[in-house]
Amino acid sequence: MHISAKVNTMEFSGTMQISGKAKELKAQGINVIDLSVGEPDFPTPQRIKDAAIVAMDKGHTGYTLASGIVPLREAVGLWIEKFSGVKYAANEIIISNGAKHSLYNTLQTIIEKGEEVIIPAPYWVTYPALVEIVDGIPVYIDTTSENDFKITPLQLKAAITDKTRAIILCNPSNPTGSVYSKSELEEIGKIVLENDLYVISDEIYSRLVYDDFEFVSFPSLSPELKKKTILIDGVSKAYSMTGWRIGFTAADKELISGMGKLQSQMTSNPCSISQYAALEAITGPQEDVEEMRKIFAERREFLYNALNEIPGVKTANAKGAFYLFPDFSSFFGKSYNGTKIKGSFDLAMYLISEGQVATVPGSVFGAEEFIRIAYATSMENLVEGISRIKKAVAKLQ
Ligand SMILES: Cc1ncc(COP(=O)(O)O)c(C=O)c1O
């Protein structure tokens, strides 16, 4: 059997490994509380499901334009403009099979072999994998919890070489939930323009922010920065539509045309029915998005307080997405029943086997001292999950 070196050296998504383990235990009848998943637990709102049924009934079941139906591309432009004031025409937008696919198209379109892409760590696991798939080189900037897991201008300047092509900003961040302020983004923007870099701004969680935080979208900073930004968004998180596989990319029309060429050869259009559902999602009444956001906000408050009450655990109350990223390193080096916790992976495995609660080790995101806890699950599950974590870590000596 021959498997190419590229695929052979690739790893399965680290977050999926853990949720896979949780699913396996559940299949054995074990009651696992799953705090590892990166998807909302709400059903897709009824109005969106109804729109999909209407689309099928109307016969929208054939191929569409490879880059997505024009009404959806136009609607995405208006949806972005309403949110952040930035205007994009239909030919500056492409619809893809989820934001992950949007990111792949982007990197494949702008990166030459051996070019560097700056990735702040902790990072979403897919970024380095995609950069490597397109033969680019991921260059990491390590951030700290003291700096709210955000890069500083000095760090960014130091990471840039003559091979740097782009930086990926995940704002709000998966896994940390951190958000950048306008002035922080402006400082990054200045360096980006000085060095003629692209910013791949992954804003898929931008509609899920809390404590009245005013989210600032990167391309809204200035027309010059808009030209250098490739904006990634989609319906997966804010509309609870992870399975529908619709992502959006907004950028300069030449880049979008390049991505359209690539997509037309690789996958053709994303699912026609999902496109009509996404059209309803972003153009219909938006109350459901706000209802879900409010529920996330309540869960986040509970989780923040409950985690900080566990002796040895510290966490900030991150303002975005649906994750907290607490520091559990005080348990490293401790043991229970012959199991020694050497790092975050051991800890996550211990929490599953001893506490039947699934979390994601920070190691998969490039940050060893932490674990990621998602609050995209019911309050009941969060209460039980935290209680199990508390009991499990109390046993460590
Ligand atoms: C930061 C970030 N970007 C993009 C995605 C991908 O979204 P989609 O499901 O639309 O491919 C995710 C999903 O976990 C994510 O966390």
Q: 246-257: per-residue pLDDT in tens?
A: 999 999 999 999
Q: Is 171 in the pocket of ligand 1 (CB under 6 A)?
A: no
pLDDT at 15 over 80: no
Q: Is 247 in the pocket of ligand 1 (CB under 6 A)?
A: yes
Query: What are the start and end residues of each CATH 3.90.1150.10 domain in the chain?
Result: 5-43+288-394
What's the gap between Cα 58 and its chain centre? 34
Q: Is 98 in the pocket of ligand 1 (CB under 6 A)?
A: yes
pLDDT at 99 over 70: yes
Q: Is 218 in the pocket of ligand 1 (CB under 6 A)?
A: no
In this prediction the pTM is 0.96
CATH of 61-283, one of 3.90.1150.10, 3.30.160.60, 3.40.640.10, 3.40.250.10: 3.40.640.10
pLDDT at 198 over 80: yes
CA separation, residue 346 to residues 22, 39, 78, 143, 333 (Å): 15, 24, 46, 23, 10
Query: What are the start and end residues of each CATH 3.40.640.10 domain in the chain?
Result: 61-283
φ/ψ region of 196 (left if φ > 0, alpha if ψ in -120 to 50, else beta) reads left
Q: What spacing in Å lies between the alpha carbon of 204 and ligand 1's midpoint?
A: 7
CB 343 within 8 A of CB 361: yes
Which pLDDT score, from 0 to 100, does residue 19 have? 72
DSSP-derived 3-state class of residue 233:
strand
First-to-last alpha carbon distance for the chain, in angstroms, is: 47
Q: Is 242 in the pocket of ligand 1 (CB under 6 A)?
A: yes
Index of the ligand 1 atom closest to the CA of residue 234: 10
Which pLDDT score, from 0 to 100, does residue 14 have? 66
Residue of the nearest CA to atom 13 in ligand 1? 38
What is the mean pLDDT of the segment spanning 263-268? 98
Confidence band, pLDDT 50/70/90 cuts, at residue 232: very high
What is the CA angle 266-94-7, rounded to 5?
35
pLDDT at 45 over 80: yes
**Percent share of the chain, pLDDT over 70:** 99
pLDDT digits (tens, 9 = 90+) for 280-337: 999 999 999 999 999 999 999 999 999 999 999 999 999 999 999 999 999 999 999 9
CB 147 within 8 A of CB 156: no
What is the CA angle 322-328-333, rounded to 5?
155
| Dihedral Cα 145, 209, 205, 380, nearest 10 deg | 90
Index of the ligand 1 atom closest to the CA of residue 247: 10
How far apart CA 126 and CA 337 sit, in angstroms, is: 35
CATH placement of domain 5-43+288-394: 3.90.1150.10
How far apart CA 92 and CA 110 sit, in angstroms, is: 15
What is the mean pLDDT of the segment spanning 174-182? 98
Pairing state between β 229-234 and 33-34: unpaired
CB 149 within 8 A of CB 173: yes
pLDDT at 228 over 80: yes
**Is the CA virtual torsion 73, 79, 83, 85 positive or negative?**
positive
Which pLDDT score, from 0 to 100, does residue 26 have? 87
Which pLDDT score, from 0 to 100, does residue 328 have? 98
Confidence band, pLDDT 50/70/90 cuts, at residue 183: very high
**Percent share of the chain, pLDDT over 90:** 92
Please provide the average confidence, as pLDDT, over all residues in the chain: 96
What's the gap between Cα 12 and its chain centre? 17
